[in-house]
Amino acid sequence: MTYLNSLLLATMNIGLAIGLCAAALVVGAGVVFLVLNNVYKKREKKRAEDKLDETNVRVARMIESAKAECKQIKKEAILEAKEQDLKLRNEFDREVKEKRAEQQRVEQRLNRQEDLLEKKENELARAKESVEAQKQNLQKKLEEVERTQAQVARQHELMIEELERVAQLTKDEAKRILTEEILDETRHDVAIQVRNLEQQAKDEAELNAKNIITLAIQRCASDHASESTVSVVPLPNDDMKARIIGREGRNIRAIENATGIELIIDDTPEVVILSGFDPVRREVARITLERLIQDGRIHPARIEETVEKVQKELDQQIKAAGENAMFEVGIFGLHPEIIKLIGRLKFRTSYGQNVYRHSVEVAQLAGLMAQELGLDVNFAKRAGLLHDIGKAVDHEQEGTHIQLGADIAKKYKENAMIVNAIMAHHGDVEPKTIEAVLVAAADAISGARPGARRETGSNYVKRLEKLEEIAKSFHGVDKTYAIQAGREVRVIVKPEQVDDAQALFLAKDIAKKIEAELEYPGQIKVNVIREFRSVEFAK
């Protein structure tokens, strides 16, 4: 019991000691915690202060860096602004220099034009003075002839008596002989003078005309196409001919009925020939046949569908071609139907020359010549473009292309002077304006250019033979030769029958007869040659 009490007491003491120790540990731990907490707070405060100082230093550095960077950016911005300002000034100076240079070039060009105009005016004045001087000289010579005739009249009576006495001639016979001698001498002198004056005037006029026409042709360049009344469609093989003909000929009949063009299928390998006078229908048939061959489906329903589609596409192409011609020439305000008719000329040929390109070329040539002469350029171009408009419908309507073209121009309210230019370009009526004359000249230039037109060999030979026959029909002509494709005829005369003065009038008479009886493009030079040869043999 005592042991248990002692054990219990010891245990309690131990528990108490343990509790005291635990309490002491708790108190010590709290003291230690407070001490450590105080130390930690001091350290944290110092660390915070250090961080704050470091942050302040860093902020100060960042501020300094930002200030330095701002200064650098400001400096760079100033430099960039100065560079931009310098660049703008340089560009402005360059533009000013270019404008001044352009202004100087314009002034120089205007000065050159003024000099050229002044030079032309001076040349024209000199030409007028020369013509006046020649007229005065001719007048003086005529007065001298009159004085000579007066002297002859005064001496007439004395010569009659002398002739009657010496030659034993009557008064009428002597008068006739004397008159013939004086007339022959006077005619010879006048012919020589007229030939010299005419040659000088021709040289000056020909030089000015050549300059204007050459300049117009030089500034006008256009392409030319040569076509005919037939078109050829190539085939991939001869078996395709049977498919085009069809069973009992139904396909070929369908094509001919839909297009109005005759198909010629013969022994010619791998080709089909389309024949017809309407160039638009022939083009429709050609495109239709090519598409059918390419597609491979050839039957009446497909043929009619393709023809209708091609006709619509070709109508659009015709309208576009007319507008292109209008823009190429530089005229506006044409009636839409006239534009379509101009486009149809693309498929029309005359003597192998494409009428569409010919009309554009005539318009350009007439406009350039009108510009050189100081005339109405737009009027000349418009008349030149429309001068052959009648050829677009001459295969559908009766009448010449000139009359049809004039009717079309009247129908669509074209100017009366345009109508006159259309009617006068082949000399059917008198031209009322200089521009109408230029249109006729441009038409002749375009048609007479080598290679522009072609004619059959038989017609060509007949024209040359007719030319030689006309020249040989005059008295005193020995031989005639048509050379340079009919552009020149050389006439060799008999020297004992034709003298130099008569050769001048003979050339004029031959030229007039050629103009009256022969149709030809351009002009024909009549060259009369008189040569006298004396041959003797030494024996």
Burial 217-241 (b: 16+ CB within 10 A, else e): beebeeeeeebeeebebebeeeebb
409 plus 525 within the same structural domain? no
* Longest CA span, the chain: 228
Domain end, chosen from 421, 448, 475, is at 448
| pLDDT given for residue 113 in this prediction | 84
Domain end, chosen from 448, 477, 502, is at 448
CATH number at residue 329: 1.10.3210
Summarize the confidence of residues 319-325 as an average pLDDT: 88
419 located within any domain: yes
268 plus 356 within the same structural domain? yes
183 located within any domain: no
CB neighbour list of residue 187: distance below 8 Å, 6 or more residues apart: 501
474 plus 395 within the same structural domain? no
58 located within any domain: no
Q: What is the pLDDT of residues 115-148, one digit of tens each?
A: 888 888 888 888 888 878 888 888 888 888 788 8
| pLDDT given for residue 225 in this prediction | 35
Instruction: Calculate the average pLDDT of the chain.
Output: 79
Q: Where are the alpha helices (DSSP H) in 260-299?
A: 279-295
| pLDDT given for residue 427 in this prediction | 78
How far is residue 306's CA from residue 311's CA, in Å, rounded to a whole number? 9
Overall pTM > 0.75 = no
379 plus 484 within the same structural domain? no
469 located within any domain: yes
**pLDDT of 25 higher than 70:** yes
C-alpha closest to that of 355 among 392, 380, 382? 392
CB neighbour list of residue 268: distance below 8 Å, 6 or more residues apart: none
437 plus 486 within the same structural domain? no
| pLDDT given for residue 208 in this prediction | 61
CB neighbour list of residue 529: distance below 8 Å, 6 or more residues apart: 490, 491, 492, 493
| pLDDT given for residue 491 in this prediction | 92
- 239 in helix, strand or coil? helix
234 plus 359 within the same structural domain? yes
522 plus 403 within the same structural domain? no
Residue 501, domain extent = 458-530
| pLDDT given for residue 66 in this prediction | 83
Domain end, chosen from 406, 427, 448, is at 448
336 plus 437 within the same structural domain? yes
Identify the residue with better confidence: 110 or 170.
110
480 located within any domain: yes
SS3 of 34-63: HHHHHHHHHHHHHHHHHHHHHHHHHHHHHH
**pLDDT of 211 higher than 60:** no
| pLDDT given for residue 170 in this prediction | 66
The total number of structural domains in the chain stands at 2
322 plus 414 within the same structural domain? yes
425 plus 497 within the same structural domain? no
pLDDT band at 420 (very low <50, low <70, confident <90, very high): very high
Write out the H or E segment, with its range, that includes residue 323. helix 300-329
| pLDDT given for residue 12 in this prediction | 66
| Percent of the chain whose pLDDT exceeds 90 | 4
**pLDDT of 221 higher than 50:** no
Q: Is 332 left (phi over 0), alpha (psi -120 to 50) or beta?
A: beta
249 located within any domain: yes
| pLDDT given for residue 195 in this prediction | 66
Summarize the confidence of residues 452-460 as an average pLDDT: 56
**pLDDT of 337 higher than 80:** yes
| pLDDT given for residue 226 in this prediction | 36
pLDDT band at 214 (very low <50, low <70, confident <90, very high): low
Backbone angles phi, psi at 231, to 5 degrees: -125, 145
| pLDDT given for residue 222 in this prediction | 44
- 456 in helix, strand or coil? coil
426 plus 466 within the same structural domain? no
Q: What is the pLDDT of residues 461-480, one digit of tens each?
A: 778 888 889 989 998 898 89
439 plus 344 within the same structural domain? yes
| Percent of the chain whose pLDDT exceeds 70 | 81
Q: What is the pLDDT of residues 92-111, one digit of tens each?
A: 888 888 888 888 888 888 88
317 located within any domain: yes
CATH number at residue 481: 3.30.300.20
270 located within any domain: yes
